[in-house]
Structure 1
Amino acid sequence: MNSSPTSLFDSYEQDFLQFIDTIREKLEDDGGDDRSDDRKNVLRRVEMELDEADEMVSQMEIEIQGIPQSVRVQYHTRLRNAKANLSRYKKLLKEGNSQMARSDLLSSSQSFVTSDEPYGSNNDRTHLLTSTALLEDGTRRLQDSQRIALETESQGADILMNLRTQREQIENARGTLNTADSSIDRASGTLKKMIRQMYKQRIVTAAIIIVLVLLIGIIIWEKLS
């Protein structure tokens, strides 16, 4: 098993690219079945796959924090490209849902207009109401997605701000420790000087005592002799 700092990032990126390839085939294939129900199923599958791809991008953002600074720049570029692809296909999905909703609404409207009854049959009205509800549901889901994206961006900014604050606190603590080390070194030097001075004073005192003892001894010997 590869245990390099970039292995997990590479793995998530490969999974993301596989999702993107599958999504691209479904969204950019204009030659598929035009039936409304089939197209709706395709769009629903694309939405689920985009959620999975979004999760891969989130994991890549987490893993990039552990990549060494020397190679992190190129991985940031790959992450930006992944986010750009994700945004592009989310936009295509939104357009596909809008087109599908308009198509359903137009087909319901045509059926409503050509009905033999003045205001259309109950089935036509029900179909129109259902299409309108689908359109509103799609709009609401898109709004929810945008809100979640904004909340995620805000949380990410808060996390980055907290990390920056913690880094400043660590740097300040490091500076304080360096200052304390310097003060300790100066205090240690002062103590050493004081100890040397004390030893010198002891030697001088001992020498004076010895001289005095000798003088006293000489004086007593002279008196006795």
Structure 2
Amino acid sequence: MDQTPAALFDAFEQDFRHIINSISEKLEGSGKNQLGEQRKAALRKVEIELDEADDIVSQLEVEIQGIPQSVKLPYNTRLKQAKADLNKYKKLSKDLHSQAARSDLLGGFKSGTSNSDDPYGERSDRTRLLAGTETLNDGSRRIAGSTSLALETENHGADILRTLRGQREQIENSRNTLETADTHIDRASGTIKGMIRQMYKQRIILSGLGVFFVVLVLTILYFKLVR
């Protein structure tokens, strides 16, 4: 199996599209007409699939970092489209959850029996309705908070990936600098060795000249003094 970043990106994107199509079928296709517990089960399944799709988008962000800049533009476009589709179905799922909760609340209110002789019956029903509405609003706030946290985590992960990439480039630059320094050191070492050899040659020549002059002086003295 091809393990290049581009090939992995394609594979993860294919998995993402499969999950998105499943979500679309449940929210906008045949699953849209389901009612009651079937609808609730479908929405729970959508939540699980949205989490899986979210994880795949995070993996797409990781893989795109390794794609060369020369061919990266279409992959960036595909990643943006994947994020847009994910956010679209997150919002749609949230709205449908709210509608389902509101429908259950209003259905329970309408099906409840009220004793006309009980002066507190209507007030009790209204209290339950207000409490249910508050619970629904609280759930919506929690969902919004979770979505915001997920987006912050996603941005933080992208920042970490950019930082790691910058550090990798710095390491590669340092390695190239060290290789260049090694080349210069090798050249300098060769130059120094040549200078040392030249120094030895000059020393031998000077020693030979010294011996020659000593012999010459001794010869001259011999002829002057002895003869």
- TM-score bracket for this pair, using the shorter chain length: 0.7 to 0.9
Partner of residue 199, structure 1: 201
Residue 151 of structure 2 corresponds to residue 149 of structure 1 = yes
Secondary structure at the counterpart of residue 6 of structure 1: helix
Residue 218 of structure 2 corresponds to residue 216 of structure 1 = yes
Secondary structure at the counterpart of residue 67 of structure 1: coil
My pick for the range that moved more, 77-86 or 126-135, is 126-135
Gaps of 5+ in 2: none
Partner of residue 41, structure 1: 41
Q: Deviations over 1:60-88 (max 9, x none)?
A: 22333343444333323222221121111
Residue 89 of structure 2 corresponds to residue 89 of structure 1 = yes
Cα distance, 1:181 vs structure 2: 5.0
Cα distance, 1:199 vs structure 2: 1.7
Partner of residue 6, structure 1: 6
My pick for the range that moved more, 21-30 or 161-170, is 161-170
Q: Kindly indicate whether the alpha-carbon contact (under 8 Å) linking 1:9 and 1:64 is maintained by their aligned counterparts in 2.
A: yes
Cα distance in 2, alignment partners of residues 39 and 135 from structure 1? 21
Aligned residue identity for 2:9: F
Q: Kindly indicate whether the alpha-carbon contact (under 8 Å) linking 2:31 and 2:42 is maintained by their aligned counterparts in 1.
A: no
Secondary structure at the counterpart of residue 90 of structure 1: helix
Cα distance in 2, alignment partners of residues 4 and 158 from structure 1? 21
Q: Deviations over 1:33-53 (max 9, x none)?
A: 352433222211111111111
Gaps of 5+ in 1: none
Cα distance in 2, alignment partners of residues 111 and 157 from structure 1? 53
Cα distance, 1:144 vs structure 2: 1.9
Partner of residue 64, structure 1: 64
Residue 138 of structure 2 corresponds to residue 136 of structure 1 = yes
Residue identity (%):
33
Q: State TM-score, norm by structure 2.
A: 0.75
Cα distance in 1, alignment partners of residues 34 and 129 from structure 2? 19
Q: Deviations over 1:188-220 (max 9, x none)?
A: 525533541342232133123124314523653
- State how many pairs are aligned: 224
Q: Deviations over 1:135-174 (max 9, x none)?
A: 5335423422321331332243144235424533653564
CA 1:70 to 1:159, structure 2 compared with 1: closer, same or farther past 3 Å?
Answer: closer
RCO comparison, higher one (Cα < 8 Å, 6+): 2
